[in-house]
Structure 1
Amino acid sequence: MGAPVHAAVRRGEEVTAAFDPQSATIVVVTYNRSHLLSRLLDSIERMDPKPGRVVIVDNASSDDTTEVVESYRSRLGAELVYRRLDENTGGSGGFSEGVKTAYELGSEWMWLMDDDVEVLPEGLARMGAWAPKFKSIQGRRYDYDGSEFYWQYRVSVPLGIPIPFAPADFDASGYRPMNSGCFEGMFIHRSIVQQIGLPDPRFFIYWDDTIYGWLASLKTRCVIVDEFVLQRTREIKQWDMGIRHFNASSDMYRYYIMRNRGIMKHYYAAHGKYRPAYFAVGTAATFAKELLRLAFVERKVTRKGWTNLWRGLRDGIALGRDKTFRVMPPLEA
């Protein structure tokens, strides 16, 4: 499956001269999906060039994840670092630990991804070609069925929600500025990680990468580039709206998408960007969006779904009022 090719980024010798693939670490977070993790590791084995290191953070899986990881140790073609956590800390905790590990190992670049994707063979070269110009880069991704996935890369900061009508096409530059982030493919330089600190594990799931990408955009010019580098390997029920897809969710996600707005409030306030009235509108819009997701994607509006939304909203308000909450600090050099 091909992708748009930009002349400046396709000549292997120029990529190598400007970017050393060995300076990059792929950070993977996994939980009880060894069958998907093995597909990702297979794709890393096929990569050319390969990263110098692969860090796998296991959120206390109860399946055969440990055995699967060990089976790749001698064949991956890159140093494999395995961190098995004592408890499930969610994607947020996993990426916090993964970035911490990669940073402490001296990685220059960290490429973050979940276990339900595959890396396209030239993925690292395509990302690395932009490394001399930017320090926080998001690549593009094919969906499970091979269609082009649209990711909402712009966020309305006052509302605290993605902008659904941000343009999906690219001009001749091959990139668009963004002020958000997605841990399914974020490619970030250690100097930015040092300045903004680790991903906040208190999110558990949802909004963690949005805030992390926004923090990065305060320190550097973040971009999404017209480079297909990943493909999702897990089918998710969707409402196809043309260029945009509305994915199914879960009751746990519904809770955290509302609860974590309390954490978002603290980050915006810490940087002088919190506007109470606008943020309340964004919270109401988020609540309404989840109701639409229940009705049109999952085609059910259950009492449990409602309860998790209301409970998340209640806990988020309480969390936002917590005067002891402190945002994640920068890292020491």
Structure 2
Amino acid sequence: MTQARTDDAVATGFDPASATIAIVTYNRSNLLSRLLESITRMDPKPGHVVVIDNASSDDTTAVAESFRERLGSELVYRRLETNTGGSGGFSEGMRVAYDLGSTWMWLMDDDVEVLPDGLARMGDWAPRFKSIQGRRYDYDGSEFYWQYRLSIPLGIPIPFAPAGFDASGYREMNSGCFEGMFIHRDVVAQIGLPDPRFFIYWDDSVYGWLASRKTTSVIVDEFVLQRTREIRQWDFGLRHLNASSNAYRYYIMRNRGHMKHYFRTHGAYRPVRFAIGTVLTFAKELIRLFFVERTVRGTSNLWRGLRDGRALARESEWRPMPPLDGAHSA
């Protein structure tokens, strides 16, 4: 870290060494290598870099260890015995970061690179907010739009929430994205770790919503990440749809059962409107299947997820993730 950056960090009341980048990876060692390489170029650098390997069968371990000399004691590598999905990986990554004493936890997938001054840009906002989302460039360098607001009664993102920023440089959000979530340990203590039961999908949306109930959550007009994986898209003007997978199709429907439980626990569940949101989600996935992937194969995964989600929503023993700080309620 240069002395100028160190002085800037002190001036804003943000210590870069108090931040941990937590990465989840699975069988994409080439992408992980690009991300870790970008971290070596950061100024300032975080205090720790935690890599959670979801039981990869490729050379992920060797790739992570190859950066140990350049990252030194900053690097913490954990290989899980089974693939716990993005949800389980981020839950474990946040747990490790929290146990390291990190004040800030910056979550990201392996298919991004961090811009050199990314942490400095996030740190500029740290004195004001405790749940922050930065912006990303897409694979081609264009601005990536993320749906940062949820309609809680419907349980779906609001697709046409304003994308621009005013002079304040931020917009309040009530959602979250684990590709870049920057969150303070005080909030994590109150709402607990991300719920690994989601496996993939809706986990970060629900977690971001829980965070927004405890603090003012914002997306800031700061580009801090760039995506490094090209995804097939259907561009229809104002927004676009990305290609998906059978696993995503299943979990996007099944996990509405978990979402229903969380909304019900916090008094936000509206049965009729949530059911409409489920229908809209199903319809959106059909459009994605037909127009982005140009196939009809995969609809069975939607129906199976819908069935299992309804069963999950009826589980009487379901409980939310507990807070890490016993002084707070979930």
- The alignment's TM-score, normalised by the length of structure 2, stands at 0.96
Q: Which residue of 2 aligns with 1:191?
A: 186
Q: Distance in 2 between matches of 1:139 and 1:311?
A: 35
SS of equivalent to 2:75? strand
Q: Secondary structure at the match of 1:230?
A: strand
1:102 paired residue among 76, 90, 97:
97
| Pairwise CA distance, 1:78 | 5.8
User: Is 1:16 aligned with 2:15?
Assistant: no
What SS does structure 2 have at the residue aligned with 1:272? coil
Where 2:144 maps in the other structure, the secondary structure is coil
Match of 1:279 among 274, 290, 293: 274
**Per the alignment, in what secondary structure is the counterpart of residue 25 of structure 1?**
strand
SS at match of 2:146: coil
Confirm whether residue 310 of structure 1 aligns to residue 303 of structure 2. Answer: yes
Q: Structure 2: give runs of 5+ residues left out of the alignment.
A: none
What SS does structure 1 have at the residue aligned with 2:316? Answer: coil
Tell me the residue number matched to 1:180: 175
Candidates 202, 217, 220, aligned match of 1:222 = 217
Which residue of structure 2 lines up, in the alignment, with residue 85 of structure 1?
A: 80
- Post-superposition offset of 1:15: 3.3
- CA distance in 2 between counterparts of 1:152 and 1:268 reads 19
Specify the code of the residue in structure 1 equivalent to 2:286.
L
Q: AA paired with 1:214?
A: W
Structure 1 residue aligned with 2:318, among 312, 317, 325? 325
**Residue aligned with 2:143, SS:** coil
The count of aligned residue pairs is 322
- What does 1:178-257 correspond to in 2, within 5 Å? 178-257=173-252
What do the CA deviations read for 1:72-109 (whole angstroms, capped 9, x no partner)?
A: 01102661001100000000000000000100110000
Partner in structure 2 of residue 118 of structure 1: 113
- Name stretches of at least 5 consecutive residues in structure 1 with no aligned partner: 1-9
The aligned amino acid for 1:92 is S
Partner letter of residue 13 of structure 1?
Answer: D
Structure 1 counterpart of 2:160: 165
Structure 1 counterpart of 2:245, one-letter code: S
Letter in structure 2 aligned against 1:324: E
Question: Mapping of 1:11-90 within 5 angstroms?
Answer: 13-17=7-11, 18-76=13-71, 79-90=74-85
What amino acid maps onto 1:110 in structure 2?
A: M
Q: Distance in 1 between matches of 2:262 and 2:179?
A: 22
**Residue number in structure 2 paired with 1:270:** 265
CA distance in structure 1 between the partners assigned to 2:302 and 2:168 by the alignment = 41
- 1:120/1:230 contact within 8 Å kept: yes
Cα distance in 2, alignment partners of residues 181 and 205 from structure 1: 14
Between stretches 209-218 and 13-22, larger displacement belongs to: 13-22
**Structural RMSD (CA):** 1.2
